[in-house]
Structure 1
Amino acid sequence: MQLSLFAPEASKITLRPYQEEALSAIEEAYTRGIRRPVVALATGLGKTIVFSELLRRRGDTAMVIAHRDELIRQAVEKIRFVIPHAEIGIVKAEENQKDAQIVVASIQSLHEKRLRQWMPDRFATIVIDEAHHAIAPSYRRVAEYFRPDILLGVTATPFRGDRITLAEVFDDVVYSFGIVDGIRSGYLADIEAYRIETDINLDHVRTMAGDFSEKELIQAINTEERNQIVVHAYQHHADGKKTIIFAAGVPHAMQLVDRFRAVGIPADAVFGHTPVQERRSILERFRTGLVPVLVNVGVLTEGFDEPSVEAVILARPTKSRVLYTQMVGRGTRLSPGKDRLILIDVVDSTTRHRLISISELIGVPGDVKSGRRVTEAIREDEEERTKGYRTAIVQALPDARSERVTDLFRDFRPPEYDWRDVLRMLDMHREDTESYASGRDAFRERWGDAPDTSVTDGQIAALTGFGWPKRELKRLTRYEASYCIEQHLDLLQDVRRQRVEAWSEVLDLPPERVAQKFTQPWQFKPVTDKQKALLARFHVDVPPVMTAGEASILIDLLLSRPKEKDEAEVV
């Protein structure tokens, strides 16, 4: 089947520019043979509208897969809005409207017996909502059974680490429009961020499935003193505002509710096991403002749409960018009279774990100053970065295309190769016993080494270059060290491609020549003291975010150009 963007009926909606771009990206990727694309749109940017419009334009059979009742209801509602005359069926629990043109199904209902009621080629298009869940065995089973013309994944998390994981099911992330893009374009509310630090240490809390063990995390942070800090933070920064609080677990949530009520602030809590009618009643009280504070545990991260939320309190830490993005996204939708989201991040101390923060989310180095607007932090970071690069390039190479620096270098971010990110990925890999065993076998076949022996000196040197402490290296096997090195290199591919493209255009150099400066771990680290000293001799100021590889490009060009009289004395 050809991908056809000729509408079977006239569209009744006007898409936003980025939504049209997303659809165009899917079409363009299709022409390149990509049949399993991913589109990443931040929460509140209308990804359900995007895939509904794709179904309308294709005008064929389709299945949409989601994992929560709220997401299923949203999908049916939006598809019906975009395609009023569509025949939509629901497959969930006892419902089994399997013969509809468009089927919206819960992943829990798609067990092997139910899958067999359809032929593998029954659906021309299959959409997996919240596609970051697609690595789970239940989703893999569905992806392996069906043979659609397009298997589209949609997600709110366009991070590189997630792309690596998604590659087990999908081909590529063909389009991303993240939270920063949404805020900058005026489609999402600005964020006023507050960082509230505690004395709780999390180093002893173990990791499970890529994030903190819930039981151990509750034991660590559910203290009277810390819970009171949360209440005080609300009173100081968001008093009276409609606020969602994310807790670590049920006991933690209940203690928070008690603390709020103790000081006269109405508060409710909602959990996964809360009965449907009770949950609806709680959410209605929250929507009307009767209860301004709503504490939850993992319930409101997906499928909850309440634009009037004015504040979000992260009373639980996380190592997951997916979860952090989802939690913040609960408050970034626009609403009349709302000029920003107040984000209160309660931060504990740790050296072993890498906690996700607002700085990670928006790509700004260092901590965002408490009380700052995200737009201010981003603008200042971009201005400082592009000015620094432009100055250095003009000083080193006056004939370079420096006028392109602002556009090409604006989105540069410090390379992310934090060893704790990769340790988290390794922990998840270990838990997937089938994938882990397969990787060990492939390692043995490729290298002829015993995968469970100690790490080699070369592996230690490579991982040390990525910042790994020796205490952690001692815990790795030879196979695990190899796996971690590969993940580090994969995480840097986006950085490498972006920098090669930018420097090639600015300096009018062949990409392959520039690419040589981004092949080794040290080249992604900050400029060395030796490089700074050499560039200073040529009167070149080094911007703080420049990498060693980028400095090497300038040094090579400076040393290779014909020496003028005053330069001869310098060199």
Structure 2
Amino acid sequence: MIAPIVSATAQSIALRPYQEACVERVLTRHASCPKGGKALIVLPTGCGKTVVFTEIARRLGLRTLIIAHRQELLQQAADKFRMVDSAAVIGQVGAGRHEYGAPITVASVQTISRPEHLKQVKRFGCQLIIIDECHHSTASGYQAVLDALPEAFVLGVTATPDRLDHQSIERVFGEPIFTASIIDMVEQGYLCDLRAIAIPTAASLDNVHTQAGDFKLDELEVAVDTEDRNNRIVSAYLQHCRGRQALCFSVTVEHAEHLAVAFTTAGIHAAVVSGDTPLEVRKRILHQYERGDIAVVCNCGVLSEGYDAPQTSCVILARPTKSRGLFTQCIGRGTRLAPGKSDCVVLDITDNCLRHRIQPLTLRKVLELPLLDGESVMESKKRQILEQEQEREKEERTTKVSRRTQDLVLNMLDRMAWQRRSGGSYVLEVGEQKHQIYLIPSEEKDGYYSVWAKLAPTFQQQQWLKESTLEWAQQHAEMKARLLQSSAKKLVLVDSTAPWRARPASDRQLYMLRKYKLDFDPAITSGEASDLIGKAKEDEAKNKAGKKAKKAQRVIQKLVRGA
């Protein structure tokens, strides 16, 4: 039986500018071809693909089927719906559950593509199909579902449209209607900076053959799973990334186990997860990793997709690959923003490879950016601007352009000085009075945090936000922190114990809520209204700043090209 799923964490979600643009393009495509139409979105890992497609489904209000190949992805989609619509009725098909007939259904492609389930799909029907990680959608299971619902509008979302078998997903969806690159998102401050460090080894890949477009796994394991190479990886971690939490990607399960032993022998708390790891053990290991109790998780094929761990600030590519998609998915595990996190170091393990026509991928190749060893994406971009400026100065035609280039400030979001505490919590001190704001991890659900504060002079503990994703909890906490930083008089606006917050919302507040088109309860209090209005104003300011920065950047690029 399907029951409405109600959550105390339901809240208004303000989309980032690129997310809003993405949603609008899909809605426009749907309006032009609602039956049998298709659309493809390409967004890097960590840029909110799930938020985008859940918002699209919410705005369209159609009977929706969300398909993915992993249970973690389906759970993420259901969780996002719960956060944007507490009254959403969500059915699940897969993992022993067969809940058809709900307005929103999340389904495992392995289950729903079976003949007996396709009959149920046709019976209940749907007008919108969303395929998460749609680079898998050329497989027969997905096609069986699409054939069963030929009049549904189909939306595909992915971070990596590349496939080793060269089957283009564009034959299913057409060309992407919205695309953003990792570099775009790093420049705009929506992903953390990436810094690649090449780690040469004595291993040789010359005797490893190619199978299905990538290195043959059994031969690759023999070539790279050696004691010397594994110890080289550990020493590189100690030299460049000591104290960072890392995900290490291996060739096989045995390789992951050998790497974990090497890390442990060196005094680094490491663990292994794989497809063979019992579910409860995997949950326990990943929970300990989130809390900071485990430094390195070595894995084989299970954390490259559908796993969010924003605190990851090091990615170790112990598995050579020719797959752009796999490489991008792996580094994407480290690109998410987190409190106190400035960048992510990619330890690029480089082996000798002289005979292969196609070399193993590196960060430089994947991003198509001339990264120097140890240089971050932002440092590379700034270096290129400086080099261009110097070249123009040599030609003596650059006075105006140089001056304007020097004035360019890349649109990086301000970083607040969050400190991580034991147990996985974060604390931020604000102002001369040292107000304290906390992000406290959920005891029930990994990846979710509540926001608490202790405000001077009493430092009485108060809760500001119930459990939400880390991104949203951080955004809410920093909105309050900026109010505190702006003026001591603003303390009364953020103090949840202030008497005015319990009063009914004023006429002015009700007007502002309607102006910003915010959903609210008729019995909303003055404090609740203030929170919603404040968030809307901050999002509006961010959108304006983002548009202004993009405009300035376009002007400068135009001047550079014309110089």
Same fold (TM over 0.5): yes
Residue equivalent to 2:157: 154
Distance, in Å, in 1 between the alignment partners of 2:107 and 2:239 is: 44
Q: CA deviation at 1:203?
A: 2.9
Q: CA deviation at 1:385?
A: 6.0
DSSP-derived class of the 1:345 partner: strand
Distance, in Å, in 2 between the alignment partners of 1:205 and 1:72 is: 36
Residue equivalent to 2:140: 137
Choose between structure 1 and 2: higher helix proportion: 1
Change (3 A) 1:319 1:391: farther
Residue equivalent to 2:90: 88
Change (3 A) 1:347 1:300: same
Q: 303-312 or 161-170: which moved more?
A: 161-170
Change (3 A) 1:258 1:240: same
Q: Does 1:374 align with 2:342?
A: no
Q: Does 1:16 align with 2:16?
A: yes
Distance, in Å, in 1 between the alignment partners of 2:226 and 2:326 is: 23
Residue equivalent to 1:216: 219
Change (3 A) 1:205 1:132: same
Map 1:57-456 → 2, pairs under 5 A: 57-110=59-112, 111-119=114-122, 122-157=125-160, 165-351=168-354, 352=356, 353-365=358-370, 368-381=371-384, 384=387
Distance, in Å, in 2 between the alignment partners of 1:58 and 1:204 is: 54
CA contact (8 A) 1:362 1:378 kept: no
Residue equivalent to 1:50: 52
Cα root mean square deviation, aligned: 3.3
Change (3 A) 1:177 1:125: same
Q: Deviation per CA, 1:97-118, whole angstroms, max 9, x where unpaired?
A: 0111110001110212211112
Q: CA deviation at 1:198?
A: 1.5
CA contact (8 A) 1:218 1:252 kept: yes
Q: CA deviation at 1:163?
A: 9.3
CA contact (8 A) 2:164 2:212 kept: no
Unaligned runs of 5+ in 1: 1-9, 396-401, 407-501, 508-542, 547-571
Q: 152-161 or 212-221: which moved more?
A: 152-161
Change (3 A) 1:153 1:229: same
Q: Deviation per CA, 1:355-409, whole angstroms, max 9, x where unpaired?
A: 21111232214xx2222111111233356469879999x99xxxxxx99xx9xxx
Q: CA deviation at 1:83?
A: 2.4
Count of residue pairs the alignment pairs up? 397
Map 1:445-484 → 2, pairs under 5 A: none
Match of 1:40 among 16, 39, 42: 42
Distance, in Å, in 1 between the alignment partners of 2:165 and 2:558 is: 31
DSSP-derived class of the 1:324 partner: helix
Q: CA deviation at 1:65?
A: 0.5
CA contact (8 A) 2:100 2:124 kept: no
Distance, in Å, in 1 between the alignment partners of 2:388 and 2:142 is: 42
Distance, in Å, in 1 between the alignment partners of 2:558 and 2:363 is: 31
Q: CA deviation at 1:28?
A: 3.6
Letter in 1 for 2:335: T
DSSP-derived class of the 1:241 partner: coil
Distance, in Å, in 1 between the alignment partners of 2:394 and 2:20 is: 37
Q: 148-157 or 182-191: which moved more?
A: 148-157
DSSP-derived class of the 1:204 partner: coil
Choose between structure 1 and 2: higher strand proportion: 2
- Taking structure 2 as the reference length, the TM-score comes to 0.65
- Taking structure 1 as the reference length, the TM-score comes to 0.64
CA contact (8 A) 1:121 1:147 kept: no
Letter in 2 for 1:241: R
Q: Kindly, what percent of the aligned residue pairs are identical?
A: 38
